[in-house]
């Protein structure tokens, strides 16, 4: 009897493969599962089997019944899906499907890539350094006097007396020059930390882009050309730069650079405070003391350095009004870029 069951299983599988309509499927169902069907016959025979054979044979017959039932159900679903007459009213299979939801790059990552690409085009390569930094690299080597206000605990997160979270990307200037002879042409994108009260335009952690170019006879003109090119590439061909004298310990002379307001084109609007100009970065010629700290001879080389906030330029370019949005992970904000 076991052989008969095995044979029926093979037979059923051949038959179901030939079924191509609801009608032939129903006929097969009746033949196997009907009141006088093959399975009913098997169960009848089981009654006559010996006591020892019964459990195993019963198991085999139930297995076959389950297989037949499940295979018929699956085939039924298959036929229903392919049958035109079973297509639900109003369903148009020729309509395009809905696109699956896709994530996108964070606006800061995209801004960073855009900026890096512009400086790559001018021959700068990317360097980086530690975010937990020694006081020496963050301040001393950059010509910050011991009593400089930015060393204050109110501005800097100290780990201990000599170790702090870097407040700018400038320490990488000295670290890089210590290990590489001139000429140097690097940009340093990275995260920096300030002990700030957080509001719409201040964050305790944000991103900076540092630039450093050192060679024989680099001039302030080279600095302005480089930054003007960057401003035009990033903000559009109408962007113009102007330098205002400023003070940074690690550059001499130092300047803050303003860009013509790209919203009003210089006429004056809310974004530029009616001046027509927007401050975008700080820059200057590398101070001789910084060269000396890094082991360069200030008599032999000159160079320029600049730095700006990635958040700041992304906020300007995209009209983002609150720096906190970058870290809130709200997809309604992030999916706009």
Q: Name the residues that contact Zn ion, by CB under 5 A.
A: 261, 263-264, 269, 271-272
Residue 130 beta carbon to Zn ion: minimum distance, rounded to whole angstroms = 39
The nearer residue to Zn ion, 116 or 269, going by C-beta atoms, is: 269
Edge-to-edge strand order for the sheet containing 277-286? 125-126, 184-193, 205-215, 302-309, 277-286, 251-260, 241-248
Residue 238 beta carbon to Zn ion: minimum distance, rounded to whole angstroms = 12
Residue 270 beta carbon to Zn ion: minimum distance, rounded to whole angstroms = 7
- Distance between CA atoms of 108 and 236, rounded to whole angstroms? 19
Residue 320 beta carbon to Zn ion: minimum distance, rounded to whole angstroms = 16
The residues, any chain, with a CB within 8 Å of residue 265's CB and separated by 6 or more, are: 238
Do the Cβ atoms of 210 and 169 come closer than 8 Å?
yes
SS3 readout for 273-336: CCCCEEEEEEEEEECHHHHHHCCCCCCCCEEEEEEEEHHHHHHHHHCCCCCCHHHHCCHHHHCC
The nearer residue to Zn ion, 186 or 272, going by C-beta atoms, is: 272
The nearer residue to Zn ion, 209 or 316, going by C-beta atoms, is: 316
Which residue's beta carbon is nearest to the bound Zn ion? 261
The nearer residue to Zn ion, 116 or 264, going by C-beta atoms, is: 264
Do the Cβ atoms of 272 and 278 come closer than 8 Å?
yes
SS3 readout for 126-145: ECCCCCEEEHHHHCHHHCCC
First to last CA, the chain: 71
Residue 227 beta carbon to Zn ion: minimum distance, rounded to whole angstroms = 19
Residue 175 beta carbon to Zn ion: minimum distance, rounded to whole angstroms = 38
The nearer residue to Zn ion, 46 or 269, going by C-beta atoms, is: 269
84 C-beta neighbours (distance < 10 Å), count = 5
- Distance between CA atoms of 167 and 157, rounded to whole angstroms? 8
Do the Cβ atoms of 251 and 225 come closer than 8 Å?
no
The nearer residue to Zn ion, 134 or 263, going by C-beta atoms, is: 263
Do the Cβ atoms of 261 and 278 come closer than 8 Å?
yes
Q: What is the DSSP string of 182-205?
A: SPEEEEEEEEEE-----BTTB-SE
Residue 321 beta carbon to Zn ion: minimum distance, rounded to whole angstroms = 14
Residue 254 beta carbon to Zn ion: minimum distance, rounded to whole angstroms = 25
The nearer residue to Zn ion, 31 or 317, going by C-beta atoms, is: 317
Q: What angle do CA 63, 64, 66 make, to 5 degrees?
A: 65
The nearer residue to Zn ion, 9 or 240, going by C-beta atoms, is: 240
């Amino acid at each position: 009897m076991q052989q008969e069951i095995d044979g029926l299983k093979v037979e059923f599988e051949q038959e179901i493969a030939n079924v191509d309509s609801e009608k032939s499927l129903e006929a097969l169902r009746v033949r196997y599962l009907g009141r006088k069907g093959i399975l009913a016959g098997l169960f009848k025979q089981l009654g006559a089997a010996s006591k020892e054979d019964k459990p195993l044979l019963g198991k085999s017959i139930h297995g076959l019944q389950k297989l037949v039932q499940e295979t018929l159900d699956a085939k039924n679903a298959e036929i229903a899906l392919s049958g035109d007459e079973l297509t639900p009213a109003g369903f148009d299979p020729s309509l395009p499907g809905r696109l699956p939801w896709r994530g996108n790059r964070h606006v800061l990552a995209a801004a960073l890539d855009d900026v890096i690409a512009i400086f790559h085009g001018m021959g700068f390569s990317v360097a980086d350094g530690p975010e937990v930094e020694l006081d020496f690299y963050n301040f001393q080597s950059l010509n910050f006097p011991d009593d400089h206000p930015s060393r204050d605990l109110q501005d800097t997160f100290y780990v201990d007396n000599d170790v702090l979270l870097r407040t700018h990307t400038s320490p990488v200037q000295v670290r890089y020059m210590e290990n590489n002879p001139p000429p140097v042409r690097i940009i340093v994108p990275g995260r920096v930390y300030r002990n700030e009260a957080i509001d719409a335009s201040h964050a305790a952690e944000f991103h900076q882009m540092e630039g450093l170019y050192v060679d024989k006879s680099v001039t302030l003109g080279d600095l302005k050309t480089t930054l003007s090119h960057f401003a035009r590439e990033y903000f559009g061909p109408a962007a113009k730069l102007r330098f205002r004298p400023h003070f940074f310990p690690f550059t001499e002379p130092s300047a803050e650079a303003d860009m013509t307001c790209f919203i009003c084109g210089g006429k004056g609007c809310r974004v530029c405070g009616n001046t027509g100009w927007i401050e975008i970065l700080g820059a200057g010629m590398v101070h001789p003391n910084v060269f000396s700290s890094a082991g360069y001879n200030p008599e032999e080389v000159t160079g320029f350095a600049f730095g700006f906030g990635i958040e700041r330029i992304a906020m300007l370019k995209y009209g983002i009004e609150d720096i906190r949005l970058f870290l809130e992970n709200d997809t309604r904000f992030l999916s706009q870029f």
